[in-house]
Amino acid sequence: MIALEEAQAKVNRDLAVLPPTEIPINEALGLVLAETVAADEAIPPFANTAMDGFAVRAVDTVGARKDSPVTLPVVATIAAGSVAPRPLERGEVMRIMTGAPLPEGADAIIMVELTRPAGFDVHLLAEVPAGNHVRPAGDDIEKGTEIFHPGTVLGPGHLGVLASIGRQTVKGYRKPRVGVMSTGDELVEGPEPLQPGQIRDSNRLTLLTMCAEAGLEPVDLGLIRDNERAIEQALRHGVANCDAVITTGGVSMGDFDFVKAVLTRVGDFSWMQVAIKPAKPLVFGLLDDVPVFGLPGNPVSSMVSFELFARSGLRRMMGRLDAERPRITAIADEPIKRHRDGKTHFTRVFVSENPAGQWRAKLSGGQGSHQLMAMASANGLAVLPNGDGVDAGQSVEVIHLDALAIR
Ligand code: AMP
Ligand code: MG
């Protein structure tokens, strides 16, 4: 058996960050920026009003009160998207709508609620200071400012800013296309009744959705039979169309574990027995320069193996600096025991934070590598080094699975 860290290092050596490409901003959600973005335009581009009301010279409103209004002529109306026909002179006002440019000569806005119509004139019911409700040019972003830096994960707010400064594309890392296939003659796809000895394929869906949750682009490579030719064909199709390929099943010590046999024949693959439980067997290597992960078939093992070997490396391929799951320290609410076997155990737990800000952990269900229910109700993997585990009240390190990958 080899240590977890050694296996992880072997995998990570072969995973390279994808080359950055020019990406349309409407396809950039969740992608990592690969350039420094400077604003070519100021936001707002011109001084404008934050309120519907009247553009005024502040000095003209001096002394205005509800019981003794100042009455001035309304000489124009400025809608958002239009400009004033001429500068505002002393003793005049212009009707103005939110977002419309401040006319030359005006220095303040009085909101409509503080006015009363009076035919072609308007009564101003309050005094306003210069700058009132005016949004100056560059108030949000000054032209030429560096606004975003490489490594930024683009969310809706970033994309809105990029749209507002007129960027059509950005240089970023696209999502790696990750192909997923399941292998096994016992597996059934779809709603058909099970024949004796058959089970339903669940790993393909869990792995495809784990890819999606990690911000990657999942590609379904199908359910492949335990047949060397079919497996080789599916692998070659996968590496020709994807940035990485994940298989599940067929990498253990069974007589029909053909994935391992095929990979060993076609490429430079390492088969590892990793000192962990679950997910001891792992096959990894490059086929036509594309990384291929051969994950074990047991449903929990395949998920834990993805977490420990594939997830962070695949996220680094798309430039994510926050590739790793966060780890927390929790207090065991109940004994989380194990036997000495020289391995590190990754026990499925449910963690919650109590009002004092302390994390508590309890088992999320049966711990067999076939018992997927415990994975469904887990939000953490407790890391139990070789030994007896922990008693209630002792602290335990937990890989927190709840952090949202798509931000
Ligand atoms: P294997 O690694 O192919 O020997 O499979 C180990 C165990 O996982 C066996 O009990 C398989 O039936 C089961 N298994 C393999 N692939 C899948 C799958 N895609 N979905 C559900 N169970 C699977
Ligand atoms: Mg199998």
Distance (Å, whole) CA 88 – CA 15 = 64
What integer is the mean pLDDT of 178-188? 98
- pLDDT at site 229: 97
- State the pLDDT confidence band at 256, using cuts at 50, 70 and 90: confident
Instruction: Write the pLDDT tens digit of every residue in 20-41.
Output: 999 999 999 999 999 999 999 9
With 50 as the cut, is the pLDDT of residue 119 above it? yes
pLDDT per residue as tens digits for the range 356-377: 999 999 999 999 999 999 999 9
Size (the chain), residues? 407
**Atom number in ligand 1 closest to CA 201:** 20
pLDDT digits (tens, 9 = 90+) for 269-326: 999 999 999 999 999 999 999 999 999 999 999 999 999 999 999 999 999 999 999 9
Q: Does the Cβ of 49 fall within 6 Å of ligand 1?
A: no
pLDDT of residue 328: 97
Using CA positions, which residue lies closest to atom 8 of ligand 1? Answer: 298
- At 407 the pLDDT is 30
| Residue range 4-18+175-276+288-315, CATH number | 3.40.980.10
> Distance from first CA to last CA of the chain, Å, rounded?
37
Ligand 1, atom 10, residue with closest C-alpha: 298
Would you tell me the crossing angle of helices 228-241 and 258-266 to the nearest 10 degrees?
Answer: 60
**Mean of pLDDT values over 87-101:** 98
Domains 48-135 and 327-405 share a fold: no
Asked, as a colleague might, if the bond just before 44 is cis with ω within 30 of 0, I would say: yes
What residues sit around ligand 2, an ion, with C-beta below 5 angstroms?
A: 184, 249-250, 297
Say yes or no: CB of residue 185 within 6 Å of ligand 1: no
* Mutation pick for ligand 1 pocket among 195, 199, 283 (CB with most ligand atoms within 8 Å): 199
- CA 214–ligand 2 middle distance (angstroms): 26
Q: Which CATH superfamily is domain 48-135 in?
A: Molybdopterin biosynthesis moea protein, domain 3. (2.170.190.11)
Count helices and strands in the chain by DSSP H and E runs = 8, 29
Ligand 1 centroid to Cα of residue 274, in Å, is 18
Interior angle at CA 3, CA 359 and CA 306, nearest 5: 60
The Å distance, Cα 313 to ligand 2 centre, comes to 26
Q: For tokens 């993805």, what's the residue?
A: 306
Least distant ligand from the CA of 369: 1
Q: How far is the CA of 217 from the centre of ligand 2 (A)?
A: 25
Q: Look at strands 108-111 and 53-56 and give their pairing.
A: antiparallel
351 CB contacts (<8 Å, ≥6 apart)?
A: 328, 330, 359, 360, 361, 379, 380, 398, 400
Q: Report the SS3 class of residue 376.
A: helix
Query: Does any ligand 1 atom lie closer than 6 A to the CB of residue 184?
Result: yes
In percent, how much of the chain has pLDDT > 90? 96
pTM above 0.95, yes or no: no
Compute, in angstroms, the gap from residue 91 CA to the centroid of ligand 1: 84
Q: CATH homologous superfamily for 327-405? A: MoeA, C-terminal, domain IV (2.40.340.10)
Q: Please tell me if the CB atom of residue 305 comes closer than 6 angstroms to any atom of ligand 1.
A: no
**DSSP class per residue in 7-20:** HHHHHHHT--PPPP
Strands (E), 125-249: 134-135, 146-148, 169-173, 177-183, 187-188, 199-200, 217-224, 244-248
**Would you state the pLDDT for residue 405?**
38
Q: What is the pLDDT of residue 375?
A: 96
Domain limits of the chain?
A: 4-18+175-276+288-315, 25-40+149-173, 48-135, 327-405
3-class DSSP state of 246:
strand
